[in-house]
Structure 1
């Protein structure tokens, strides 16, 4: 209903104000590899480059290439922001995690505005080839951040505040700027949690404890954990299982133990990311609703896609929140 692209949501998260004619892109730092005559997307995250290294790269990119309406803004790890002042939003781009280990030639920007983005990508590769951060990473046997990859573009959306729509106050806890940006546009307070990394090493329990504290003076909490998705993009079954188990025990378990009085809780992934394809797919996701005022035996044997298929199917996903809030 309101989505124009993830770029403007991430801009809101890091405090970048967009004018109506601006176009914001997610800007990944990626690792490209030359294999014969092809250039391959080796890693959509440049080896999950840490923020302390990537932020310096982005600042250098902005200093050297931030002109002709383009500006770079640092985010977290490999996830950054590119803003095109007065830019064109008709260009077609591809998420880099969709094309891991594939040639990039068919997935480079296309359409209106593509030539400007292609020049920027090429210029970034020249600048990053001998960047001090990449030289150090090479010495340490780590993947270099040898190119930018802009995608997920859009202009700023217009969304009704959560309080206006549901009559409730709200807060959001997340490590990734996309989720924080949704909260910002919905008028929610963003709660920062030390140790929340948006990766496998995130502080699960710290997020849950911060969530319980947030609920002391707010009606609604949106708590997001990125780790299972990252494990899926990596194609790592063991890490995905570990991430789900830790989410179950340290997030859901901690919150259930800490809540008192009447409450509702909903648990669900925001999209499927099967290990088999290592990217997002357009399929229904299982969701679980629990209301402390309605203690009834569950007819399901656990929480999974298979079990959820026996329950309620909500075809239009945006109506799920109405069901959750309205009971």
Structure 2
């Protein structure tokens, strides 16, 4: 038996007037997921423990079966594992986004507005150039910068403190004054980064191309070195991770799962969907893995952008270009498999950030046909599935213990 988790990051949403009262998932053409749903059990799961922040960090830990209350030590340390940073026990890791702030003349830094948390999904190559400029000016023995992917990078603070910091995607369109760090060293570093990056030649070229400049660092997600139990020790399955995002890769490193790199997988709308499907099939059928976790970032990014059209496109791409070829490959192999499809959390268009609401899940077993009439979406999972998983980290038991 093989096991697959297909995770559409931020795919769940709220009913939208623009879509006739439907959610993007409900509105999208998802022929493959809807066909599978008619043979599957569907329901709702609470992936975010009460009182915890609705992030992809806590939610994906839960989907993998790790109770966030026990295992979560912060988002950035998980990303540090992916990048290969050997954190000391006294280190604190912070996410360093390259963001776009408004560029009015003659106003203080704190009066600027945050426009884009991802700087138009800046390429890793462009981001590396800008981060090098920041590193050259600001790095010290106490504060060290590390490159990640796209806009997502890291700051390691030697003998640091886990301070409260605001995620940039939670405050898009707002003046940043009330969301800056209380720690004055971090705050001054962010302010200086704007001075370094505002007129950097690469940003000058980005503006000419109609792209948002990556004109400031933004620190958030502080945490200490994590310690996860081995996934194989926990489940007795050899697991693999397919993701373009350092957070998920870091979770895999901590859980001693295999990380599979897919050329062209970039965490954006135009990622390599087919390549992810092929990689998943290959690792399950040819490379000895029992379990594969496929993470797709695009729906979440489009939710943060507030784009209904692109979020629908991301969901349709996942359905037609990732799930369909993967299911076809598994069916052609004759291998029995169970497939869990779900988001980690909602990223509603109306708020452009995460929420803690329950998410719809579907479990398909290639050996069974439950002969149902429902489709896969929030409304039908809530009304027709009649299954609610209150502790999201227990859902994996339902997948594995058929």
TM-score (ref. length: structure 1):
0.95
Equivalent residue for 1:233? 304
Trace 1:52-63 onto structure 2 (pairs within 5 A): 52-63=125-136
CA distance in 2, matches of 1:102, 1:268: 31
Equivalent residue for 2:295? 224
Equivalent residue for 1:288? 362
Question: Deviation digits for residues 98-148 of structure 1, max 9, x if unmatched?
Answer: 1111111111113xxx11211211121121122221122233332211110
What is the CA RMSD across the aligned residues, in angstroms?
Answer: 1.3
Q: Is the 8 A contact 1:59 1:73 kept in 2?
A: no
Q: What's the offset of the Cα at 1:34? A: 4.8
| Larger RCO of the pair (alpha carbons < 8 Å, separation 6+) | 2
Please, which of 153, 165, 171 is the counterpart of residue 99 of structure 1?
171
Q: Is the 8 A contact 1:58 1:74 kept in 2?
A: yes
The answer to which of 48-57 and 162-171 deviates more is 48-57
1:190 aligns with 2:259: yes
Equivalent residue for 2:336? 262
Equivalent residue for 2:152? 79
Q: What's the offset of the Cα at 1:68? A: 4.4
Please, which of 70, 76, 84 is the counterpart of residue 15 of structure 1?
84
Equivalent residue for 2:227? 158
Deviation above 4 Å: which 4+ runs of structure 1? 34-37
Question: Deviation digits for residues 130-179 of structure 1, max 9, x if unmatched?
Answer: 22211222333322111100111111111100000011101000001111
Q: What's the offset of the Cα at 1:49? A: 1.4
Equivalent residue for 1:169? 238
Equivalent residue for 1:143? 212
Q: Is the 8 A contact 1:125 1:148 kept in 2?
A: yes
CA distance in 2, matches of 1:325, 1:186: 17
Trace 1:239-278 onto structure 2 (pairs within 5 A): 239-259=310-330, 260-278=334-352
Question: Deviation digits for residues 284-310 of structure 1, max 9, x if unmatched?
Answer: 010000112222212x52111111113
Equivalent residue for 1:309? 382
Secondary structure of the residue aligned to 1:258 is: helix
Secondary structure of the residue aligned to 2:155 is: strand
Secondary structure of the residue aligned to 1:287 is: strand
- Unpaired segments ≥5 residues, structure 2: 1-69
CA distance in 2, matches of 1:149, 1:57: 13
Equivalent residue for 2:401? 326
1:279 aligns with 2:348: no
Q: Is the 8 A contact 1:231 1:239 kept in 2?
A: yes
Equivalent residue for 2:268? 199
Equivalent residue for 2:63? none
CA distance in 1, matches of 2:159, 2:143: 9
The answer to which of 33-42 and 144-153 deviates more is 33-42
CA distance in 2, matches of 1:50, 1:263: 36
CA distance in 2, matches of 1:195, 1:33: 31
Instruction: Give the number of equivalent residue pairs.
Output: 322
TM-score (ref. length: structure 2):
0.78
- Unpaired segments ≥5 residues, structure 1: none
Q: Is the 8 A contact 1:233 1:279 kept in 2?
A: yes
CA distance in 1, matches of 2:213, 2:338: 45
